[in-house]
Every structure is written in C-alpha cells, then in structure tokens.
Structure 1
C-alpha cells in the first residue's frame, strides 16, 4: 500500500514549528508495510489543500493528514475533505459529550466554534482523542483511504497508535512489514564508504542498502520486507557479511547508537575510567561524553587547555614544546602526546585522550585550518598520536575532531 502524508498548517511553512509528525508517521507506516513515497506541507488555505489532496489521490492509496482539526476558522481539513468526498459533517455525540463535560468541570463557557472539534464526516470512523478534544477521522471512498489526525504530537501520536493504526491494519491485504538494521561506522567518510560498497549498492534488491551521514559518522541502513523480524534479518545476514568483510574495521555498532555510547559501555563493562584534554574543540568532546546518563561512572573529567600556559600548568606539557623558534608548537604531534600522557598521570585514569589543532577561521602558528592532532594514552598500551585534516566551518571542524577522537579511543579499546 502506498501512502502520502499531508501536514496542514501555515506555521509549518513559516518555519515556526518543525514537522516531527512526518518522521513518526513514516516510521510507523514502514513498520507495517505501508510505503510512504511523498510528504507534503500545505498552509491553511482551502484551495491549496484541495490541490494537495488531488495530487495525493493520483499517486497514493492511503492519505494521512495532520493538523487543521481545531476550533478556529483556519482549521479546515475536515471541511475540505468533506466537500471533496461529497459528505456532510456531523456531530460525533461521544466527542461532544466529552467536550461539554470538559468545559463544565472548569466552569468555562464553551463557545460555539468548539463544536467543530467534535465534527466528523458522515459515514466515517471517528478516532478518539484521549489527550485532547479534536477527534480524528478515518474513511474509505472510491478506492482511496483517508485519515485525519490532529497536529500537536501529544495528541497525534496516541491517536495514531491506538486508533488509526488498527484501522489501517484492517484495510490492508497482503503487505509485508519492513524491518531495518543499522550499521554504524566511524573513521571513514560517506564517499569512501560508498565507494567500497558501490557494487553492492548498485545490485541491491532485497535487502536494500542505504548510506547516510552525519558529521563524523556514517550509517548504513539495511532494509528488508518479510513476514517476521527473524526472516528479515536472515535475508540481511549475507549482505551484512560482505559489508563487514570490506569495511568492518570502521564498524562500531550494529544498532542505532552513537560511538560515545559504545565507548561508555565498554569502559563501564571493564571498570575503566577516562579523562580528556581539549584545545581546539573547547570542551565539545567532554560535552558528548557527559550527555550520556551515568557517564560519571567512567568519565573522570576534562581539561580545556586552550592556552599554552594551561597546557604547561595543568598537563605538564614541557615549555620547550610550546615556545621558541625551534619548538614544534601547540599544534603538533609532540604536544598532543604530552597532553595525553600528562593527563593520564595527573588524573590517575585508565585512558586519556587529547586534541589540539586549528579550527579556524584563520591559520595558527603557520599551520593550516583543519590540521588536528590526537593523543591516546592508557595504562596498559603504548601511547599513540594521530594526525588528521578536516575541512568545513569552525563548528564543523570542531565536531569532526571530537568524533574522530572518539573513534581513535574506540580502536584502542577494542584492540
């Protein structure tokens, strides 16, 4: 079954709110075998909504609308669909009784316009709103099915989950649900990962292979249509094995988690601790780690040693590395190593990671923007230094550097 989502609301077009409903509905539809091929956003305008419905009817069997079910004049979704289908709007008495009670209990006068929230299309199925007043609607006509849902997610989600979803299942025939597995990679860019897997991506049928990237990490989503999750994962296994054989060294998880979460688990399971010393990232690495609930059990803390004075005073970086004509400088492999080793000793931790580099927008010490050095030191392994070069804005370089530091730490943890 093909579906289209139509979000109704001028506030969405103005960017005043984010259309998070589309993400939720797309995921829920995919899970039951309904393919969402198009998402549309339209303002509170009856003519444009009519056009959006006509287009959706030409390419989908199920049309799900969110928004425009409230009491005001610009809440027109039910009115437009009722006119399009040639059906009258009628009062849903249980919804009206609930609304009357709601206002009476609060000793508030219910103005006539509130009645609109209890209206539904004649001959349709009313969808109860357990967290609000505006009811939803589900109806099938001329081979097309329509669902109208409220816009606020706190009302839309429970209505869809508890009432719309069972209705959709009741009109489905033999659609198989979609199941997905996430493969998370770090230390490799999206283009290099795609190049390594290009023949697999070009030849894909079922399961499908979809790469997509965030700054500092890449995800491969394997998706298969099957009767059960076990059957789907069995179909994915040979493809996953080929992917792992080619780029397995960068694969840090087979679930949708961040690399910092994986590191946290490894440290916690092994009863190890970590501290970090940051220069160009300005505390971003510490922020990523402390965003994890319970991180205090493994993360001892971080030092933002932005100046040479603090690198020397807090981390024990020798002055001869930082100052002088012949000195390698703050942005150097020598300083990165000294920062990590100094922190390891002073923090009395099992692992220490350091970052020093040039985030921009201007070069520093005659060194180019994007040049970053990482130090990884531990009690039980030889310390190592990694040089990397990143491009992008100052913020992008900082994020890439923080994520890369996590990757280099992860490599040592799994060694």
Structure 2
C-alpha cells in the first residue's frame, strides 16, 4: 500500500524545530510493509494545506498527517482534511470528557493558568471518523476513511504522537497490511564503504527478497538486510543465510548484528570478555573518545582513566613523553603517539592504552604534516602499535573521524592481542 507523510507547521519550514516525526513514522511504516513514496512539509496556510492533502490523497492509499490539531486558529489540519474528504465536523462527547478531565488536572498543577474555550475546538471531529484517545495531551487522533482512501491525523508533539501511533495506529495499519517488513543490521568497521560495496556487488545485483542496503557512517559501514514475509519468523528465516554470508566475507570487521549496538558498546564488551582495563591519552580529540566510552552502561568496570594532554608540557608530565622526542619529531608524530600510549598505560596501570595526537585545524598544518594528520598509538603487554591517518574536512569533522577510527583501532588491537594469546 502506498503511504504518504505530511508534516504540518510553519515552524518546521522555518527550521525552528527539527522534524523527527517523519523519520519515526517512515521507520514504522517500513516495519509494516507500507511503501512510503512521498514526504511533505506544509505550513499553516489553508490554501497550500488543502492542495497538499488533495494531492496526497490522489496518489496514495494512506496519508499520515502530524501537527495542526491544537486549539489555536492556525491549527487547521483537521478542518482542511475533513473539507477535502467531504466530512462534516461534530462534537465527540467522549473526547470532550477526556479533555475536561485533563484540563482540570492541568489547572490544579498550574493555578495561574485558566482554561480557555478554544481548547474544546479539539473535541470537534469529522463525522464517522475513528477517534484515537490521547493519553498524553488534549488533541485526539483521527482516522478518516472514504472511497478507499485513509487519512490518519496525529498530534505534532512527539511525546503525544509516538505513544498514540504505537497504541492505536500501528495495530490499525497491521490489519490492513497482510505482509510485514523485517530488517536486521550488520555493522562493519576498519574498512571503507567502497571496499564493502565491491565485496557485496554480486549479492546486490542478484537480490530479490531479502535486499541489502549499505549506509555509510563516520568510520563505519552499516548493511541493512530487509525481508518481506507473512510474519517475523518467516522474515528472519530469509535473512539468516544472508547474514551468514556477510560474516563469511567480512569476518572480524563485523562488530555488531544488532541495530542498537554501537561501536563503543562493542569495545566495552570486548574489554569485559578479555578482562582488560583501559586508559586513554588524548590530545586533538580533547576527551571525545572517553565521552563515547562512558556513554556505555557498565563502562566503569573496564575504563579506569582518561588523560587529555593537550600541551607538550602535559604530555611530558603526565605521559612521560621525552623532551627529545617532542623536539626532534614533534607532538604529532609516530614516536610521540607511541610514547603517549606506553606512558598512559604505565601511569594508569591499565592493560591497554589508546593515544591520539593530530592536527585538527584549521591552522597548524605544514607541507609534511597537513591539517587532518593524526597518529594513534595502542600499547598493551609486549606490544605497541602506531597508525597514521589523514582525514579531510573542517576541525569538527577531523575530530569526529579521529574518534570513530580510534575506537576501531582499539578494537583491532584487542583482537590481535587475543589472537597472540590463543596461538
């Protein structure tokens, strides 16, 4: 079934708020096996709204609208949609009672505010519509059905829209759609998008059901495997051999097969599995790698210390980087990164230490070491490795790439350590 999303609100067009509703609804529609061909944003203008809704109903089976259901004069979604579909507005007593109870409680919690009559505009609904209770606000949701077309009207605030969709709309749409779509993610690091694309070119060319879609992220490549079937069990059965083939091709570069698992979570899990403790010695990233690590619940079990040694004095004092190394090779060098990693591990008494030092820009670059030059060191028992990177982009972009590749480098070193101990 062809589905279209319309987000209503001039504030979205002006960039005053970020339109997260469309991203959420697109994902949910995909789960349901609905084909979303169009997404539109329209301001609080009656003429343009009417044209947008009419166009959507002409070309789509289901139109989902968010926003414009409030009590003010510029909240026109319900009125315009009802007009386009030829449905008269009448008061819904059930919605009125729910609204009155909600507003009375609101008044108790906010004694200085009064309840105004325009609130009850929200209790007016198109005659014959399915009314969806709003347990988190005042505006009810609505399902309008006419001549094989369906318009679903939902509140704009995500805190109201999302629970209403989960509770009422998702089950309603599930009954309309006999097939479902189910996806699984395979996440890869340490190799680039072009290499991944080349490795799976034959799979993509021959795919039917399921399909593989690559997505590039900073320092990572995600492969979404999507299957269509009668139920989740059937979809998983179709996906399983594809995931098995991807594991055979990419092996240890795959760090997760769950969509919710991040690279930092994979690193923390590996530290726990290997019973290793971690320290970080950061320069150009200013603690950003540590921030990623502490995003993970339970990181305190393995992450003991992070050191931001931005100046040469700090590198010497905290990490025991030699004065001669800094003078001869500079702070951004293979030699300095190695000494930072070894010194950080020694100072923190951890099993492994990752160091980063580089030129994030926009100034500081030279012909020999241009902006974007980064050295990373990793020290663990009996081994210290250093890698040189050259990143493109502005200061923020260089730092972002350094963090992502730093986590991947750390993971690679832990796997190499495990291999040495097992052989």
Q: In structure 1, how many angstroms separate the alpha carbons of the residues matched to 2:103 and 2:354?
A: 60
Name the counterpart of 1:168: 173
Asked if structure 2 preserves the Cα contact closer than 8 Å seen for 1:31 and 1:177, the reply is yes
Cα 1:206–1:102 change in 2 (3 A) is: closer
Q: CA–CA distance in 2 between the matches of 1:270 and 1:77?
A: 57
Aligned 1:175-254 pairs, distance under 5 A: 176-254=179-257
Q: How far 1:100 moved relative to its partner?
A: 2.9
Deviations 1:246-304 (A, max 9, x none): 33342111112211111111212333210011112121111111222332221112111
Partner residue in 2 for 1:335: 336
Cα distance in 1 for partners of 2:34, 2:306 equals: 47
Structure-2 residue corresponding to 1:25: 25
The answer on whether the counterparts of 1:3 and 1:60 sit within 8 Å (CA) in structure 2 is yes
More deviation in 237-246 or 117-126?
A: 237-246
- Offset of residue 110 of structure 1: 3.9
- Report SS of the residue matched to 2:207: coil
RMSD over equivalenced CA pairs, Å: 1.8
> CA distance change for structure 1 residues 101 and 181 in 2, over 3 Å: closer, same or farther?
closer
| Distance (whole Å) between structure 1 residues aligned to residue 210 and residue 96 of structure 2 | 48
| Correspondence 1:371 to 2:373 | yes
Uncovered stretches (5+) of structure 1, i.e. residues with no partner: none
Shift of 1:104: 4.6
Alignment correspondent of 2:404: 403
Q: What is the rounded CA distance, in whole Å, between the counterparts of 1:246 and 1:109 in structure 2?
A: 65
1:270-289 to 2 correspondences below 5 Å: 270-289=274-293
Deviation at 1:173, TM superposition (A): 4.8
Q: What's 1:54 paired with?
A: 54
Structure 2 counterpart of 1:317: 321
Q: Please report how far the alpha carbon of residue 43 of structure 1 lies from its aligned counterpart in structure 2 after TM superposition.
A: 0.6
**How far apart are residue 225 of structure 1 and its match?**
0.7
TM-score with structure 2 setting the length: 0.92
Maintained 8 Å contact 1:215/1:396:
no
Paired position in structure 2 for 1:264: 268
* Aligned mates of 2:102, 2:299 — CA distance in 1: 45
Do the aligned partners of residues 43 and 271 (structure 1) sit closer, same or farther apart at CA in structure 2, a change above 3 Å counting?
Answer: same
User: Which residue number in structure 2 is paired with residue 159 of structure 1?
Assistant: 164
C-alpha separation in 2, matches of 1:274 and 1:173: 49
Q: 1:378, 1:34 → 2: CA distance?
A: 51
- Extract unaligned runs of 5+ from structure 2: 417-423
The structural deviation recorded for 1:245 is 3.3
Are the equivalent residues in 2 in contact too, given 1:273–1:298 (CA < 8 A)?
A: yes
- Counterpart-to-counterpart distance in 2, 1:109 and 1:358: 58
